[in-house]
Amino acid sequence: MSFPDPDNISETVLPEDDPVRFAVIGYGDFAKETVVPAIDSVASGHTTVIVTSSPSQVTVDVDHIIGYDKFVEGAVQYAYDAVYIVTPNHTHHKFVCAAGKMGKHVLCEKPLATTVAEAEEMSDICGCNDVALLTGNRVRFKPTIGEIRSNIADGIIGDVEYISTHMTIDVLSLGGEQQWRLQDECGGGALLDLGVYPINTCRYLLDESLALHSGSIASTDTIGSVEAHSSFALKSVNGVDIHCHVSFNAHPSSELHIIGTQGTIKLSDCYWPTVEPNVDLETEETTTWQRDRVSEIENQLEYFINSIHTDSFSHLDGSAGLEDLRIVDEIKEMAANLTTQ
């Protein structure tokens, strides 16, 4: 599934007198510092409900603050039209299903779920209740990523032959040893939490389906039982080879290198939420640039809201998130088979 060029999203005129009212589910740092401000910054969005287990931590003025159980039970559902789910990975299934059954449109942070079976059920429920289900693959909505996608389609570097990409973080610096990212039962691990970034972004840039060629995962004693690293190779429908690496146990780094028959494109800091990537485009001569930062979260919200207002959300069915999870499951299965041989 492809989305429009994010440059065009910001030009959409949204009706300020008919805002989409959001319930934000989860109120951690990302929700507090990024999601809620983004919703209230776009022309046709408004946060009316916060769902959290820590109501005393809510610092914004909203109509209702409720707990997670109350949300699932359907409390104050009259007060919002859509939900933005910003909770740990293992809770996405429960909250998406509850929202879908209430007839609420859903924007859910990536990964969509922790298993393919969960994602399929989420997609079915939202489809049956005629509501949108958009996975928050925010990197697609960076203007630079949209521009690179157009460059590839226009043949600026010829035919793409090979892509290498990585995303690595020092996970212990984000929350210590007890954080949910280090717990299997919470959908933790580098592959699920980080691996969907290169999978989804490469599929979007090439506008092609991807198939797994090889994959491995590894753990370290320093971060517990979840996988610390994963390396995997993908191949696109048209034969582009893609090598990816993600890690919870490395210096923070985020790069993507695209090699074509007539040039190369290298992006640095491509997956981080706080900056636009640095771009080195090399053809007959080298061009380097970095756009001014535009909020990809706001772009994503404007696209989501416009799809709802124009009743054109049939393609927002969770399929992009589901495709990511199918590859993740295949990598885990391949890695498990390697360890038993």
The answer to whether 130 and 278 are in contact (CB under 8 A) is: no
Question: Structurally, how many domains does the chain consist of?
Answer: 2
Residues 172-201: what's their mean pLDDT? 92
205/308 same-domain check: no
In a domain, 332, yes or no: no
In a domain, 250, yes or no: yes
pLDDT of the residue at 340: 61
What's the CATH code of the domain at 209?
Answer: 3.30.360.10
Look at strands 45-51 and 64-66 and give their pairing.
parallel
Look at strands 160-170 and 249-260 and give their pairing.
antiparallel
C-alpha–C-alpha distance, residues 235 and 168, integer Å? 22
107/147 same-domain check: no
27/112 same-domain check: yes
Q: What percent of the chain has pLDDT over 70?
A: 94
Per-residue pLDDT tens digits for 258-291:
999 999 999 999 999 978 999 999 998 889 988 8
In a domain, 324, yes or no: no
Contacts of 142 (CB under 8 A, 6+ apart): 6, 270, 276, 277, 294, 296, 299
160/248 same-domain check: yes
116/167 same-domain check: no
Mean pLDDT of the chain: 93
Task: Decide which of 274 and 329 is more confident.
Answer: 329
Give whole-number Cα distances, 280 to 129, 232, 287, in Å: 45, 25, 6
pTM for this predicted structure:
0.93
What's the CATH code of the domain at 47?
Answer: 3.40.50.720
In a domain, 329, yes or no: no
CA 21 to centroid of chain Cα atoms: 22
Per-residue pLDDT tens digits for 76-100:
999 999 999 999 999 999 999 999 9
126/174 same-domain check: no
66/176 same-domain check: no
157/276 same-domain check: yes
The answer to whether 172 and 223 are in contact (CB under 8 A) is: yes
153/30 same-domain check: no
In a domain, 279, yes or no: yes
**Phi, psi values for residue 297, rounded to 5°:** -70, -45
Per-residue pLDDT tens digits for 27-82:
999 999 999 999 999 989 999 999 999 999 999 999 999 999 999 999 999 999 99
pLDDT > 90? residue 9: no
283/303 same-domain check: no
C-alpha–C-alpha distance, residues 86 and 75, integer Å? 19
pLDDT of the residue at 174: 87
In a domain, 219, yes or no: yes
Q: Which domain holds residue 227?
A: 143-291
> 194: part of which helix (H) or strand (E)?
helix 190-194
